[in-house]
Amino acid sequence: MQEPTFLILTALADQARHGYGVIQEVERLSAGRVTLRPGTLYAALDRLAAEGLVAVEREEVVASRLRRYYRLTGAGSTALAGEAKLLAANASAARRRLRKAGVSVV
Amino acid sequence: MSDRALERRCRLLARAYPDGPRAAEVFATLMDSNAGRSRPRAGDAIDVARHGLAARLRGVAPGTRYGRWGDAAAVAIVLFAVMQASALAAIAVALTGPGQVYLTYFADGSIGSYLFGAHPAVLYGAALLALVAVAAATATCLGRVRAARLLTAPSGSAPPAWSG
């Protein structure tokens, strides 16, 4: 799973968000390292929706602007949990090896 | 004034997408992402134009999947339009005669142009018109009549339609 995809799913893990909400949350989660552009975000959401990992929860019109809220599906939660477990295992393997090599890891 | 200018530009950009909820959604996100500015960031503009054109080329309804072929076709058409615009600009300047023009052929057979002495405004104007004409023709060829009308309509006409 690519990092932007992982971050989008993570942004939707606790609550449904609209497009700009996802952009903001991804920026926060990555400490400003990943900034999603609108076209890229919606292309990713379309792909994730087609894979059954996210779904549109509701739509709102605020100040004549359409806001569509996306949420993680059950399959999306499972996929994210699996990826998080994998990344954690890889990170701890890397830390173990680095310690063994005498490199300090925070 | 700044808000209105931003809104106008974001609406124009969102037109890259087929009419529908997705275009309205992109417009709203562009407005939020660029709040306080008078124009969208260049990166946002390019990104939205690319993905919107890809969505149009694939002819899919908003919210459905589209892969890499639409993107590739969008990029190819834009590159083709730029090449043709450059060639057409050279010809236009040659015909109107405001400067001395040399046309050459590149090794691959495409027309390349070297322009000397023409006033930059004439060159840029001709290039822009040619680009719009080629884009309109391409849209027509692809059956995108509305897109063609959009390209040939005066700027500032109707925004992307969405009512819900």
A16 vs B63, residue with greater confidence: A16
pLDDT band at residue B144, thresholds of 50, 70 and 90? low
Return the pLDDT at B56: 84
ipTM: 0.89
Return the pLDDT at B105: 37
Do B25 and A67 lie within an 8 Å CB cutoff?
A: yes
Return the pLDDT at A77: 98
Which residue in A20, A36, A70 has the most chain B C-beta atoms within 10 A of its own C-beta, making it the best mutation to test that interface?
A20
Q: Is A36 exposed, middle or buried (0-12, 13-18, 19+ CB in 10 A)?
A: buried
Q: What CA–CA distance (Å, rounded) separates B82 from B104?
A: 17
Give the tens place of pLDDT for each residue, A62-74: 888 999 999 999 9
Distance from CA of A97 to the nearest CA of B (A): 38
**Dihedral sign from CA coordinates of A97, A99, A103, A106:** positive
Does residue B39 carry a pLDDT above 60?
Answer: yes
Q: Model pTM greater than 0.95?
A: no
- A23 neighbourhood in chain B, CB within 8 Å: 29, 33
Does residue B88 carry a pLDDT above 70?
Answer: no
Give the tens place of pLDDT for each residue, A35-87: 999 999 999 999 999 999 999 999 999 888 999 999 999 999 999 999 999 99
Residue B81 has φ and ψ, to the nearest 5°, of -60, -40
Q: With a CB-CB cutoff of 8 Å, which residues 39-68 of chain A face chain B?
A: 39-43, 46-47, 49-50, 56, 59, 61, 65-68
The first and second tokens of residue A50, run together, are 């087609």
Does residue A104 carry a pLDDT above 90?
Answer: no
Residue A61 has φ and ψ, to the nearest 5°, of -115, 115
Do B51 and A66 lie within an 8 Å CB cutoff?
A: no
Give the tens place of pLDDT for each residue, B90-133: 555 555 555 444 443 333 333 334 333 445 555 555 566 657 66
B4 vs A33, residue with greater confidence: A33
Q: What CA–CA distance (Å, rounded) separates A38 from B33?
A: 8
Return the pLDDT at B129: 61
Residue of chain A whose alpha carbon sits nearest to that of B25: A66
Residue A68 makes CB contacts below 8 A (sequence gap 6+) with A18, A19, A56, A58, A59, B21, B25
**Dihedral sign from CA coordinates of B32, B36, B38, B39:** negative
Does residue A20 carry a pLDDT above 50?
Answer: yes
